[in-house]
């Protein structure tokens, strides 16, 4: 489904192209969402958001990757956004396991700013640093790390979600940990 004519029709807003896109990808996107979010209604809502984003952003599609890969990337990001919002408590437990129980985190932010007025500057910087480091990981590492360490998924669940082999997931996780360790070590070396 990477036919340049089809993509041109999508970009020009041709209704039959949108109908074909939905026909070809609706079930696949829903299955992906259901893999990340095992609740049918939530997965349906996220799938709708994915197609809204696809329709809004199709003009930005450059064709560097397959259309299916681009759609999957949107679906993955929408699912991760949902998971981050839904499972905020798990993230705070993860942060507390790193920095201890004395870190009050703003429950409205994840990778960006922390606006809660009661957060101490030092803790704010530590929190922002760890989440920026996670966000800067290559996509496959960020997804595997987030699913394993923040959302508590087993490696087998990650295999099912991503479609990667178990050895691939283990390798990606190893590289993610190494990259985070190096990134955070460099940050703290530069701070002292």
> So what's the pLDDT on residue 106?
42
Q: How far is residue 84 from each of residues 28, 154, 168, measured CA to CA in Å? A: 22, 17, 24
What is the C-alpha separation between 73 and 133, in angstroms, rounded? 20
- Supply angle C-alpha 175, 180, 185, rounded to 5: 130
Query: What does the pLDDT average to over 138-157?
Result: 80
Pick left, alpha or beta for residue 63 (phi over 0 → left; psi -120 to 50 → alpha; otherwise beta): left
Task: Please report the domains of the chain, with CATH numbers, ordered by start residue.
Answer: 4-84 (1.10.1740.10), 87-191 (1.10.10.10)
For the segment 17-30, the average pLDDT, to the nearest whole number, is 91
Return the higher-pLDDT residue of 70 and 53.
53
**Rounded CA separation 129/173 (Å):** 19
Burial class (CB in 10 A: 0-12, 13-18, 19+), 150: buried
Q: What is the pTM of this model?
A: 0.51
Q: How confident is the model at residue 185 (pLDDT cuts 50, 70, 90)?
A: confident
Average pLDDT, the chain: 77
- List Cα–Cα distances, 82 to 45, 47, 79, in angstroms: 10, 11, 5
Mean pLDDT of 64-81: 82
With 50 as the cut, is the pLDDT of residue 105 above it? no
pLDDT: which is higher, 174 or 101: 174
Residue 100, helix vs strand vs coil: coil
Confidence of residue 79 (pLDDT cuts 50, 70, 90): confident
66 sits in the region (left: phi over 0; alpha: psi -120 to 50; else beta) called beta
Question: Bigger pLDDT: 119 or 165?
Answer: 165
Q: Give the per-residue pLDDT at 174.
A: 95
Place of tokens 């932010």: 109
């Amino acid at each position: 489904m990477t036919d340049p004519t089809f993509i041109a029709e999508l970009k020009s807003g041709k209704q039959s192209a949108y109908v074909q896109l939905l026909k070809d990808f609706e079930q696949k996107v829903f299955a992906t969402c259901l893999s990340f979010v095992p609740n049918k209604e939530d997965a349906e809502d996220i799938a709708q958001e994915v197609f809204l984003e696809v329709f809004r952003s199709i003009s930005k599609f450059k064709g560097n990757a397959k259309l299916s890969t681009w759609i999957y990337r949107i679906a993955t990001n929408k699912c991760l956004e949902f998971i981050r919002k839904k499972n905020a408590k798990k993230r705070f437990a993860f942060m507390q396991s790193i920095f201890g129980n004395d870190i009050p985190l703003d429950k409205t932010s994840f990778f960006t700013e922390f606006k809660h007025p009661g957060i101490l500057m030092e803790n704010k910087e530590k929190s922002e640093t760890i989440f920026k480091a996670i966000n800067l990981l290559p996509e496959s590492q960020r997804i595997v790390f987030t699913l394993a360490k923040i959302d508590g998924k087993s490696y087998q669940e990650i295999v099912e979600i991503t479609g990667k082999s178990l050895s691939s997931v283990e390798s990606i996780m190893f590289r993610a940990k190494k990259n985070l360790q190096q990134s955070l070590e460099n940050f703290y070396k530069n701070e002292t």
